[in-house]
Amino acid sequence: MDELIFVYSGSCSSLLRNLSSIGTTFVVVNCGGGTLDLTTRKLVGNNPLQLSEVTERSGDFCGSAFVDKEFIAFT
């Protein structure tokens, strides 16, 4: 099943608890104030919860503060 779910940071851990199928792969995009970070993970175990890193984490200084600054400069 393909899904796109938007959640606040505090809700992410509860979503991980609902993963049940070993092999489920998902992308985490953390859009913060200063940075935007991406990682792809795979569920490899349920008890205890075990995740593997599918792709190397990446990120850059392009968070919402930078978007705000560019918008103000544009207007």
Instruction: For residue range 14-45, list pLDDT tens digits in order.
Output: 777 777 789 989 888 888 888 899 999 999 99
- Number of domains forming the structure of the chain: 1
Per-residue confidence (pLDDT) for residue 6, from 0 to 100: 81
Q: Is residue 51 part of a domain?
A: yes
Mean pLDDT of the chain: 86
Q: Is residue 38 part of a domain?
A: yes
Q: Is residue 4 part of a domain?
A: no
Q: Is residue 15 part of a domain?
A: yes
pLDDT above 90: residue 53 = yes
Torsion angle of C-alpha atoms 59, 41, 5, 16, degrees rounded to 10: -120
Considering only residues 61 and 5, tell me which one the structure prediction assigns the higher pLDDT.
61
Q: Is residue 50 part of a domain?
A: yes
* Coil, helix or strand at residue 72: helix
Q: Is residue 39 part of a domain?
A: yes
The residue range of the domain holding 66 is 9-74
